[in-house]
């Protein structure tokens, strides 16, 4: 299962939010071995982060059972309080099973 967390960060909170993500990723890798990756939404194909506030996304690949249930505690310990513009949204996905027969074949 892979998990994605997206949220918005106002420009004035970028340095502190970046530090919180670094602390979060350190705790997650220490406890689970999973390395998080930070991404952010770019403007119209220019590669520059969108402005005021920017959408950030944390990506966690191949997470262990119980990962999603423990994430809130790691986030709180990392010091995210007050750094996001609105809530954090968590979505997890698993690989789809291989199709055996196509109804269109």
Minimum mean pLDDT range among 65-69, 85-89, 97-101: 97-101
For the chain, what percent of residues have pLDDT higher than 70?
85
pLDDT at 54: 85
Contact 21, 58 (CB under 8 A): yes
Strand ranges of the sheet holding 2-9, from the earlier edge strand across to the other edge? 36-40, 54-60, 2-9, 89-93
* pLDDT at residue 46 is higher than 90: no
Q: Is residue 36 part of a domain?
A: yes
Beta-bridged to residue 8, according to DSSP, are 55
| Mean pLDDT of the residues in the chain | 89
**CATH number of the domain that residue 43 is part of:** 3.30.70.100
State the pTM of this model: 0.83
Question: CA 23: distance to chain centroid?
Answer: 13
Q: Is residue 103 part of a domain?
A: no
Beta-bridged to residue 37, according to DSSP, are 59
Burial 78-104 (b: 16+ CB within 10 A, else e): bebeebbeeeeebeeeeeeeeeeeeee
Structural domain of residue 53, as residue ranges? 2-93
Q: How many residues in total does the chain contain?
A: 105
- Number of compact structural domains in the chain: 1
Q: Is residue 50 part of a domain?
A: yes
């Amino acid at each position: 299962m892979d998990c994605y967390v997206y949220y918005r960060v106002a420009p004035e909170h970028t340095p502190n939010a970046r530090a919180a993500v670094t602390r979060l990723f350190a705790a997650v890798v220490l406890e689970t071995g999973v390395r998080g990756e930070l991404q952010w939404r770019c403007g119209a194909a220019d590669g520059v982060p969108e402005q005021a506030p920017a959408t950030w996304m944390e990506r966690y690949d191949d997470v262990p059972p119980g990962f999603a249930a423990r994430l809130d505690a790691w986030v709180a310990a990392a010091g995210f309080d007050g750094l996001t513009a609105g809530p954090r949204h968590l979505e997890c996905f698993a690989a789809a099973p291989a199709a055996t027969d196509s109804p269109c074949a």
